[in-house]
Amino acid sequence: ICKSPPTTAFLPLAHKFAQHDRNAPLHPFPVPISLLPKPPFSPFGSMKLLSIVALLATLTIGWAANDCEVCVKVMEDVRATIPKADASKKPAIEAALGAYCARDTLSARERKICYYIDPIKRDVAQPFSLGMTALKTCQRINQSNPEICTVKFPVKTEKMETKDINKLRVKQLKQILADRGVECKGCVEKEEFVKRVQETEHMASDEF
């Protein structure tokens, strides 16, 4: 008497089992999944995956911090002026932002950040009051004003050796020249941009 196969999860066809083992004979009935051979566990594969994820996270964080560098400095400087007792009080935070931006010793790029955050001091005070880091605060307000995280400090190359300048990408070299208000007419090769950057080092300034 033929008995019905057990009522467990089956693969629809027996040849699915044979795909895992080419030498296995075909079965007349479906094979329970629990009987299928499982691939061996490899701790090294998991470790490699975790390493890749950690590396990507580090690169992402590094890129974000560098992308909002002027905003981050401004937020850290403002936070340093706020007493701990007022660290979570929005009115005190807004007052600290106003007092900081009123300084006449700020660089052009710091003044640019103040220009952006002055109309939205209340929005800036919200993440400040929650204890968010300067980077997280900048990322949040950058959502409403994408120009905030594009403000960067100028790259100083006067103390850099030629080999270090050569490590910069052409895009970075062009940005350095743009910050100096210099063009590199007819420049095609990277070496030409490097030479132009070195020639105009005396024009490096914090001013726009």
pTM, rounded to two decimals: 0.55
**Least confident range of 21-30, 65-74, 89-98:** 21-30
- Average pLDDT over every residue of 111-136: 93
C-alpha angle with apex 123: 115 to 145, nearest 5 degrees?
A: 50
Q: Is the pLDDT of residue 164 over 70?
A: yes
C-alpha angle with apex 77: 75 to 70, nearest 5 degrees?
A: 55
Q: Which residue has the higher pLDDT, 203 or 71?
A: 71
